[in-house]
Structure 1
Amino acid sequence: MKLHIGIAAPIATEHVANLLSCDTSELPKGYPGAPFTGVLIGELLKQGHRVSAFTTDSSLYPNKGIVKVSGANFDFYICPSRPRAWRLNNHRLGRAVDGFAYERQQLYDAMQLAKPLIIHAHWTYEFALPAIKTGLPHLITCHDAPAVILRYTRSVYRAIRYLLARQVFRKARNLSAVSSYMASAVQHYTSIPISLVPNPLADYVLSQGKPRNAPKHKRIGMICNGWDERKNPEPALRAFAKLNREHPAAQLHLFGMDFGPNQTAQQWCEKNGLAGGMVFHGSTPHQQLIDKFSKLELLLHPSLEESFGVVIAEAMALGLPVVAGRRSGAVPWVVGFDETANKICCAVLTDMTDSDAIVLAIKQAFDEQYGERSEMGYTRARQMFAPDVIAGKYLSLYENILFSNAN
């Protein structure tokens, strides 16, 4: 059964450029930050389905309207979004003030033009509400727990997004989540059973992976997008500084917003005398990030909470063992850790608030079982997160939803 599927999500134009039949150099950039959306769209097209995708871009506001571009069986709708959350945008309020009303209307209008059989919206906010409003069969995927995000980032903006999510949970008829942790974290908002479908990994991630033997070097990678309590970088940086004093040749390669040259992380490390052995790369295009990571030996992931942890799944796919948090949301599920089984997995999990515990975990990750951890992660990533596996799970959900709506 070939379907016409709508995908409403943060979608960067660069992540679907290869699916379009036009020059994309002058197109709006779309909504960056979720490379997996392009992976899912590409896999659905590869399996013979038609896809209409919907995203937003503030460069189109206020005068350019919805941009539609196409490829084989693929239509991409880029909708205007106000650039400011609070201050006036020409004659309109900030997007947070009215709960993204303008953005939701633009997305709704594009969905009405496309008329897919089913709409799959990602995140429980401004993409989900217009999908539900169309009255078409829908699936909403939960990528974060709104109350947890609000707890770590206490702001009026996050409170408004929390209220948007509560509307989504009240109105949605079909929900999925990207991990067992996430399903449990949001199940109390709704009586609807929440299906479990993880995020897919890009083919270019999987193609660069290989099981590894114990390395001669200790080149560690860490990705944090933002310097905040939830990302929890400070204990990990202190831990590496302790490791570097024992192993002066060890390196820590840092990626993400606030982790570039002379940015927040480097300034903090230099102020505290901890910058030895650290290389500050900062924000890096995704394929370049994967290329750089494939040349490292370990992922250090200090986050205190993850709804999925695509960085961890990508490291596993590349064959890198992982050091991460034993209580960090979805992390134990992603790496296949079973606390009751007392057996090795692809990660060493520890208390990510304790720099001494992190040092011990890094040393353990480099022990004689390094190769076994590498192979286990490499295998699990392909079994659990390959694009064809994830698309197959979603297609089963779509067909069940369409069947239920027809009866």
Structure 2
Amino acid sequence: MKINVGVCGPIDLKLLNWKLKHEDLPDTNAFPLTSYYINALLKRGFKVTGYTNAPDLKEPKVLQCGNLTICIGTVKQKPGRRFFDFEIEALHKMIEANPADIISAFWTYEYALAALKTSIPTIVNIHDVALKILLKQPDMFRFVRWIMNYKSVSKANYLVANSSYTYRQLARPEQAKAVTINNFYTSDIETISEAIPAKGNYIVSVVQGFTKRKNIHGSLQAFAKVRALFPNLEYHLVGVDMEENGPAHQYAKQLGIADGVKFIGCLGFEDVVKETAGAKILVHPSYEESFGMAILEAMVAGTAVVGGDKSGFVPELLAHGKAGLLCDITSPDAMAEQIIRLLESEQLWRETVRYAKQHARKHFSEDVVINQHLALFSRVLARELIPKYAQGAYSPMPLPDTA
């Protein structure tokens, strides 16, 4: 009997490997990693039922293609004021109507809480540290998210921390039911990157929000110092709040440091990879990251990275300075110094990029990480899962250490 894996989370429908890829699909609350997780399971012969939601959808919708079924719930305005109760119940009804054998829920908020309302074995994947975010962004919305996170990690029987850093932030009772399985990168990043003919004369940051925690304030100040030595260098800003005349642009204009900065804003996944692959350096100024997908994508794409030496998982992701340069990202001077080092030394740049690619392939490739998820599924369901495409050659990997 073929196992049906449920995946409950933000899913980008256009990134899924199905024949409906180019259809008129609703815009969902999307997170690329969830889509690539589904693709990896489909590639291995599993049936997958995805549960997600779409802000502009008027009625729930179910799409089916081959081994993949996607159930899309509806969303109401200002969900935080209601603790996402409507969204949770809408997702819960979709799951009950279209059940799976096991559910992997991404993030510890509405998607996890909806899955945990069912009797289906549910694994909750932790992709951020809610308390750290609340302390950096103390507002009512983040307080609501922290409460939701507390409920889901307390109720869940099985937890996956997306990095050793995330695992260390859990209380002991949660650590006892958690394993560490890193995020992974899709081979699509390598394919897209190889099509970029040469590096452009720019550095880049990919960030979701102009907040204190993301610290684009500091990287803009650092770039102004770098540009004094490299007047033709550009700084490309990609992501939420990074558009022209957006919050980041307004800040830069107020300080008179917008020269040479290209405010790009949000892009699709493939275009983000192209921007990253075309850059000489990815600057990642965030104060705290539970993992750091933008960094991993840059490592795979052959772009050198500058990140924070105390920024959550970033030092471990960058192999403590071997796969990227680390610095005190609270200091624009320190950031500028490391950027300048990479720009001035081609040997340092090449050595850093080479090690980063090797490190990424060894620890964060799809095969390495998905096998660890399958090993956890086997334990939860008390049965061995053998991917169809690899029968006779596959041996289940042991669960990773939790420490």
What number of residue pairs does the alignment pair up? Answer: 379
Establish whether residue 386 from structure 1 lines up as the match of residue 365 from structure 2: yes
Contact 2:300 2:360 in 1 (8 A): yes
Establish whether residue 30 from structure 1 lines up as the match of residue 9 from structure 2: no
One-letter code of the match for 1:326?
D
For residues 244-278 of structure 1, the C-alpha deviation after alignment (integer angstroms, 9 at most, x for no partner) is: 11111222111112212222222222221212222
Establish whether residue 198 from structure 1 lines up as the match of residue 182 from structure 2: yes
| 1:233-272 → structure 2 map (5 Å cutoff) | 233-272=216-255
For residues 224-262 of structure 1, the C-alpha deviation after alignment (integer angstroms, 9 at most, x for no partner) is: 221111001112111111111111122211111221222
- After superposition, the Cα gap between the structure-2 partners of 1:386 and 1:205, relative to the gap in structure 1 and judged at 3 Å, is same
| Equivalent residue in structure 2 for 1:42, among 39, 42, 45 | 39
User: Partners in 2 of 1:216 and 1:53 — Cα distance?
Assistant: 37
- For 2:90, what is the secondary structure of its paired residue? helix
| 1:328-347 → structure 2 map (5 Å cutoff) | 328-337=311-320, 345-347=322-324
Residue 156 of structure 2 corresponds to which residue in structure 1?
Answer: 172
Shift of 1:345: 0.6
| 1:308-387 → structure 2 map (5 Å cutoff) | 308-337=291-320, 345-366=322-343, 367=345, 368-387=347-366
- For 2:169, what is the secondary structure of its paired residue? helix
- After superposition, the Cα gap between the structure-2 partners of 1:399 and 1:4, relative to the gap in structure 1 and judged at 3 Å, is same
User: Partners in 2 of 1:55 and 1:271 — Cα distance?
Assistant: 40
- After superposition, the Cα gap between the structure-2 partners of 1:299 and 1:216, relative to the gap in structure 1 and judged at 3 Å, is closer
- For 2:311, what is the secondary structure of its paired residue? coil
Shift of 1:209: 4.3
- For 1:324, what is the secondary structure of its paired residue? strand
Residue 62 of structure 2 corresponds to which residue in structure 1?
Answer: 68
Shift of 1:336: 1.6
For residues 204-223 of structure 1, the C-alpha deviation after alignment (integer angstroms, 9 at most, x for no partner) is: 2122446x9xx997521112
Residue 211 of structure 2 corresponds to which residue in structure 1?
Answer: 228
Establish whether residue 53 from structure 1 lines up as the match of residue 50 from structure 2: yes
Residue 305 of structure 1 corresponds to which residue in structure 2?
Answer: 288
Moved over 4 A (4+): 20-23, 215-218
Establish whether residue 276 from structure 1 lines up as the match of residue 267 from structure 2: no
Shift of 1:375: 0.7
Residue 184 of structure 1 corresponds to which residue in structure 2?
Answer: 168
Establish whether residue 98 from structure 1 lines up as the match of residue 82 from structure 2: yes
111-120 or 217-226, larger mean C-alpha shift: 217-226
For residues 38-76 of structure 1, the C-alpha deviation after alignment (integer angstroms, 9 at most, x for no partner) is: 101001000000000000112224xx2x20001111100
User: Partners in 1 of 2:172 and 2:55 — Cα distance?
Assistant: 34
One-letter code of the match for 2:352?
R
User: Partners in 1 of 2:64 and 2:222 — Cα distance?
Assistant: 49
User: Partners in 2 of 1:14 and 1:208 — Cα distance?
Assistant: 16
User: Partners in 2 of 1:21 and 1:232 — Cα distance?
Assistant: 38
- After superposition, the Cα gap between the structure-2 partners of 1:96 and 1:296, relative to the gap in structure 1 and judged at 3 Å, is closer
| Equivalent residue in structure 2 for 1:77, among 59, 71, 93 | 71
Q: In angstroms, what is the RMSD of aligned CA positions?
A: 2.0
Contact 1:20 1:69 in 2 (8 A): no
- After superposition, the Cα gap between the structure-2 partners of 1:31 and 1:205, relative to the gap in structure 1 and judged at 3 Å, is same
For residues 93-143 of structure 1, the C-alpha deviation after alignment (integer angstroms, 9 at most, x for no partner) is: xx3333222211121111112221101101111111121221111110000
User: Partners in 1 of 2:221 and 2:40 — Cα distance?
Assistant: 41
Residue 13 of structure 1 corresponds to which residue in structure 2?
Answer: 13
Contact 2:112 2:152 in 1 (8 A): yes
User: Partners in 1 of 2:158 and 2:240 — Cα distance?
Assistant: 34
For residues 168-197 of structure 1, the C-alpha deviation after alignment (integer angstroms, 9 at most, x for no partner) is: 122110000111101111244625332111
Contact 1:206 1:382 in 2 (8 A): no
One-letter code of the match for 2:29?
Y
- After superposition, the Cα gap between the structure-2 partners of 1:22 and 1:352, relative to the gap in structure 1 and judged at 3 Å, is closer
- After superposition, the Cα gap between the structure-2 partners of 1:237 and 1:47, relative to the gap in structure 1 and judged at 3 Å, is same
One-letter code of the match for 2:26?
P
- For 1:31, what is the secondary structure of its paired residue? coil
- For 1:369, what is the secondary structure of its paired residue? helix
Residue 126 of structure 1 corresponds to which residue in structure 2?
Answer: 110
- After superposition, the Cα gap between the structure-2 partners of 1:209 and 1:378, relative to the gap in structure 1 and judged at 3 Å, is farther
User: Partners in 2 of 1:42 and 1:156 — Cα distance?
Assistant: 36
Residue 91 of structure 1 corresponds to which residue in structure 2?
Answer: none
